[in-house]
Amino acid sequence: MKLNILDNASNKVGEVQLPWQFEEEYRPDIIQRAVLAIQSHKRQAYAASEDAGKRASAKLSRRRRKYRGSYGIGISRVPRKIMTRRGTRMNWVGAFAPGTVGGRRAHPPKASKSWAKKINEKERAKSIRSAIAAAMLKEIVSQRGHIVPDNYPFVLDGKFEQLDKTKEIVEIFKKLGLGKELERAENKNIRHGRGKSRGRKYKKSKGPLVIVSKKDKLHGAAKNISGIEVVEVRSLNTELLAPGAKAGRMSLWTSPAIDIMKKENLFR
């Protein structure tokens, strides 16, 4: 598969033959497994306090003629704490046991639980290749919600990596036909449900992913553009190519990044 190389003015300056990694079969099942494995390593462990529900003194004797005992009173054998007393008559209330108000939980979540999921190395590499190939298919990219220009897919010239100003990047994207895509990525919607009160009130759309050969000033300049991410080709993973385990994110490769794919034979 050959793609046109476009400069910063959206003019064709050459062609490039894509390496074998772009010819992988589209496998949404493997992509989903890889994304869930990546997300599982980010999950934070949580647990109840070890003393939760156990802070009450709920020891209650069942022996005959025992002071503060419950023998012969006709009550169930539930751990109880004393609220008030009058002489030898105690007023108890259930405590400590899982079935009582304020008692401990029977099987609380434990911080020692491991949420991490494993995936084979070959399967992980195949998922990246599959997501790369899916990002080159115009139908899958448009189905994901991106506003795809007519000349997509294409490759960016190596001079694009030398940009260090946000304003210049936005102007070049508009020349490449990505103006409406940038507007779409700027929109944010209010999340449904309890997530609004948990630090994630707004939902934003993912914009184009720019794959470059090395980390440069372009990374810092592109951070100011909503929805756009810049990643080094060696640091590419399935979640970046398929956020939410849904493949087809618009990907803009630079020609030096494709050269590294060929020379180093990445994701084999």
Q: What CATH number should be reported for the domain holding residue 228?
A: 3.40.1370.10
Claim to verify: residue 210 and residue 154 sit in the same structural domain: yes
Q: Quote the pLDDT of residue 161.
A: 94
Q: Is residue 120 packed enough to be buried (19+ CB in 10 Å), middle (13-18) or exposed (0-12)? A: exposed
Q: Are 202 and 191 in contact (CB under 8 A)?
A: yes
Average pLDDT of the segment spanning 173-189: 94
Q: Are residues 6 and 127 in the same domain?
A: yes
- Judge if 39 and 50 occupy the same domain: no
Average pLDDT, whole number, for the chain? 94
Domain end call among 88, 113, 138: 113
User: Looking at the structure, do residues 63 and 139 belong to the same domain, yes or no?
Assistant: no
Using the 3D structure, point to which of 92, 113, 134 is the last residue of a domain. Answer: 113
Q: Which of 95, 113, 131 is the last residue of a domain?
A: 113
Asked whether residue 67 falls in the same domain as residue 151, the answer is: no
Range of the domain at 256: 2-43+115-264
Q: Do 131 and 180 share a domain, yes or no?
A: yes
- Predicted TM-score of the model (pTM): 0.85
**Pair 243, 188 in one domain:** yes
DSSP 196: G
Same domain, 50 and 35: no
Tell me: do 109 and 119 sit in the same domain: no
The rounded distance, in Å, linking the Cα atoms of 173 and 10 is: 9
Count up the domains in the chain and report the number. 2
Average pLDDT over residues 131-151: 95
Based on the fold, state whether residues 161 and 65 are members of the same structural domain. Answer: no
Say whether both 196 and 183 belong to one domain.
yes
What is the pLDDT at residue 72? 86
Task: Looking at the structure, tell me whether residues 128 and 18 fall in a common domain.
Answer: yes
Mark out the alpha helices in the chain (DSSP H runs). 28-40, 121-135, 138-143, 166-175, 179-186, 217-222, 238-241, 255-264
Residue 23 has pLDDT above 90, yes or no: yes
Phi and psi angles of residue 242, each rounded to the nearest 5 degrees, phi first: -140, 75
Looking up tokens 């115009």, which residue turns up? Answer: 138
Reported in sequence order, the residue ranges of the chain that DSSP labels E, i.e. its strands, are 2-6, 12-17, 80-86, 89-94, 155-156, 188-190, 202-204, 209-212, 229-232, 251-254
